[in-house]
Amino acid sequence: MLYRSLNKKSELVDFEKAIKLGLASDGGLFFPNTISHINKDFIESIENYSNIEIAYQVLKQFVGNTISELDLKNILKNTIDFDFPLVQLEENIFSLELYHGPTLAFKDVGARFMANCLGYYNQNMSKLTTVLVATSGDTGAAVANGFLGVKGTKVVILYPKNKVSEIQERQLTTNKKNITALRVKGTFDDCQKMVKKAFNDKELNDKFNLTSANSINVARWLPQSLYYFYAYKKLKIKNLVFSIPSGNFGNICAGIIAKELGLPIKHFIASTNINDTIPRYFKNGVLEPNKTIATISNAMDVSNPSNFIRILEVFKNFKNLKKNMSSYSFNDNETLDLIKKIYNSKQYVLDPHGAVGLLGLNKYLKINSKNTGVFLETAHPIKFSKHIEKCLGIKLNTPNKIKKILDNKKEFIDIDNYEKFKKTLLNFG
């Protein structure tokens, strides 16, 4: 398997080089040069296979010969050691819970897979790899946990000041060891711009082995396709649609890759908060980001989603895109109203991101009622307890994984521009 740059001005690279570079030399995102269907018989009998076996079949072509079969299976065992429950809320509506990993968010699979792969590639290297990651909350936590103590790596997390929840900030700032947190005065988009600018900064690249652990990195993004296979394994039904809470659009893009691999998915719904760049694009065909607005579903506070270009690469034209995908946006009041409605009727607690996903699914099913829908619950509700407890008038139970960090001291460096960011990195050297 080789990867090409979507800017089309860079050389083809293998999986190992794509991970280590993060972005292509021309600044473009890497994309698989070819995608081959998985054996049809395997998909038709998918319920007979373990999650590890499914993961191997899905990911082996993307890794190619850069990791042996035995080592890849060991990496997957270290990555996927928790469940992905599917909870039925209505006859044709299911919640796919992706928050049962170590940091209680869907990003755990991609972060752990990337960390294990990079650790494998770096085991005989003397020079550190510096991993840069911009986060709106959960990405940084998952990356910090996945890379904590991994040999040959140093992780630098950029997160927006006052725009992540208290629990998310503690997950970002209490790790120590090889993890450093930078608190940025600005939005997630500002953090992401700094990371991308660093990859084009000759001085930094001459001094460091830089890579990114955002979903722009193929090793973070591609493993998320597994969620769709695991849901299909449990349902095995036709007319299956997925609604994905979408911020940087990595998760939904991974679902589209699952379909490209042969998984029978009928349609995708990209559900966003009021940062509605993509829903507006579906209406008028103009990709025009607005200023990012803070919401209670903060992991989706993204106005310029990096991965949307990968989706356009798959579907080629606007007509084909609209045939396979819809996109809707919802505000905080609609999100909280649905959280309350579902709790009162089902005694089921949604997090704000999952609620946006369900809102999108409900809207789609109103005019496509013969389909069965799955929405992705991407983070544990405890991470957003401030809003949920006020909305529902209840006290959420705090998982032990969170209790362990509540008394830990937060450590971070304040950053307000790229020059300060670059100076901080150079001082690490």
Which residues are catalytic, by number? 107
- Alpha carbons 85 and 346: distance in angstroms, whole number: 17
∠ Cα 219 150 62 (to 5°)? 20
Rg for the chain (alpha carbons), in Å?
20
Neighbours of 26 (CB within 10 A): 13
What are the DSSP calls for 340-357, one per residue? HHHHHHH--PPPHHHHHH
- What beta strand segments (E) does 152-283 contain? 153-160, 179-184, 209-212, 240-245, 267-272
SS3 146: helix
Non-local (6+) Cβ contacts of 169 within 8 A are 159, 410
CA gap 300, 312 in Å, rounded: 20
Q: Could you tell me the CA-to-CA distances from 296 to 335, 349, 353, 388 in Å, in that order?
A: 9, 15, 8, 10
